[in-house]
Structures are given as structure tokens and as C-alpha cells.
Amino acid sequence: GENVEQHPSTLSVQEGDSAVIKCTYSDSASNYFPWYKQELGKRPQLIIDIRSNVGEKKDQRIAVTLNKTAKHFSLHITETQPEDSAVYFCAARDTGFQKLVFGTGTRLLVSP
């Protein structure tokens, strides 16, 4: 089955700086890679996703890149703001059973 690794586990940046979170996956057949933001005690919220037929996708301050050969994908947040502080999870869809396998999470702290 799919295995997803994520790093760093914690990331502290100053407001306005960029933040990058990286994930690797094991199943070369996985074809869908979403990123979720989770605030304490709340449900995960989809912030951006990318499919295996695309190398990069951008939505305002958020971008995701995918390298299928290396089996890794990254989340880039530019011009970070304090409200970006949360836990971010990457995930990969297991093509065998259509389930999402999550990474271990990154706690992002943006200081004013």
C-alpha cells in the first residue's frame, strides 16, 4: 500500500517569509495529491490539490509542485500571514482502494 512521508514536522517563519513543506510517496501509481490545512479541533480543509498529469499548480499565495519521477511533491506558501499558522497534511490517493493516505503533518507557525 501507499506510504507518505512528510517533513519538516514543525516550521517557524516570520510573517511575509515563504514556507515550503515536502512529501514523498511510495506508490508510483498514485495519481492524486491533496494538501489539507487543519486548525486545532477542526476538520481538515482542502487548500490545493494536484493530479499526476500536472507538474505544478498555483492558487494565489499557495502552489504545489509534483515530481513523479522522484515521487515527491511540495507545498509552497508565499507571503505568509499569522492566519496561515496551522497543521498542514499532504496526502496521496491509493489507486488500489481509492483511499487517501496522509503524511505525518507539519505544524506551521507564522510569527508577526
Cα–Cα distance measured from residue 75 to residue 7, given in angstroms and rounded to the nearest whole number: 11
Q: Output the smallest distance, CB 33 to other proteins, in A.
A: 9
CA distance 64 to 88: 13
Nearest residue (CB) to other proteins, 17 versus 39? 39
Contact string (CB under 8 A) for other proteins, positions 36-75, x = contact: -----xxxx-x--x-x------------------------
Dist CA 93 CA 82 (whole Å): 30
Nearest-approach distance from CB 79 to other proteins, in angstroms: 26
10/18 with CB nearer other proteins: 10
Four-point Cα dihedral 37, 40, 43, 46, nearest 10: -10
Helix then strand then coil, in percent of the chain rounded to 5, is 5, 55, 40
Asked if residue 112 binds other proteins (CB under 8 A), the reply is no
The reply on whether position 27 binds other proteins by CB under 8 A is no
Q: Which residues bind to other proteins, rule: CB under 8 A?
A: 31-32, 34, 41-44, 46, 49, 51, 89, 93, 97-105
